Amino acid sequence: MKKNRVEAFSDGVIAIIITIMVLELRVPHGEDFETLTPLIPVFLSYVLSFVYLGIYWNNHHHMLNAVQSVTGAILWANLHLLFWLSLVPFATGWMGENHFAPVPSALYGLVLLMAGVAYLILQQLIIKSQGPDSILKKAVRRDWKGKLSPVLYAAAIALAFRWEWITLGLYVLVALIWLIPDRRIEKILRSGAQE
């Protein structure tokens, strides 16, 4: 039951974040096609962040499936992850309204990096709580995505001040890498259920 409430709360927060983000797409004054033009970068950064939050919701969903009991530390690690995700709308809006300028693009990467780190901390705490036979540990054994993403984010932040389009390209790349849903946990869980 406890786990259900953590899931419900996380779902609620992620659902609200993903939805209030669209409020940055402010209704323009004017009724022509041209009034939409300055909104295009805001829209594109909205699409990117929507995909990222979808990925987080998706993976969070899979990861919590593998959890048996929620400790105080897991609760706070989860809130810590939600904290960084809650900054995504701000970073998205700032990046979009400044047409992917260096500093806003770097800040966007920083928020993604911190969310990624928060996700790894949550993962480690769940593994630790499950003891030596952790089902999650087996599932993420070759977690090259989780290890590669922070490196790519860090590279994107560093490059933002010289080649901002490479930065943006890296954000799209990381999203594409993760877009393939995390079938590893699903597979292990399924084989565990069959035994």
Give residues in contact with a second copy (CB under 8 A).
Answer: 1-2, 5, 7-9, 11-20, 22-25, 27-33, 36, 47, 50, 54, 57-58, 61, 65, 72, 75-76, 79, 82-83, 86-87, 89-90, 93-94, 97-98, 101-104, 107, 179-181, 183, 186
Query: Cβ atoms within 10 A of the Cβ of 23, count?
Result: 10
CB of 68 to a second copy, least distance (A): 13
CB of 188 to a second copy, least distance (A): 15
Q: Which of residues 82 and 170 has its CB atom nearest to a second copy in the complex? A: 82
Give the residue from 29, 167, 12 showing the smallest Cα distance to 82: 12
Q: Which of residues 151 and 187 has its CB atom nearest to a second copy in the complex? A: 187
What HEC string does 24-93 produce?
HCCCCCCCCHHHHHHHHHHHHHHHHHHHHHHHHHHHHHHHHHCCCCCCHHHHHHHHHHHHHHHCHHHHHH
CA distance linking residue 68 with residue 170, whole number of Å: 35
CB of 181 to a second copy, least distance (A): 3
Residues with Cβ within 8 Å of residue 67, at least 6 apart in sequence:
3, 74, 126, 129, 130, 136
Q: Which of residues 5 and 151 has its CB atom nearest to a second copy in the complex? A: 5
Rounded to 10 deg, the angle between the 88-97 and 102-130 helix axes is: 160
CB of 111 to a second copy, least distance (A): 11
Q: Which of residues 102 and 150 has its CB atom nearest to a second copy in the complex? A: 102
Q: Which of residues 97 and 143 has its CB atom nearest to a second copy in the complex? A: 97
CB of 125 to a second copy, least distance (A): 13
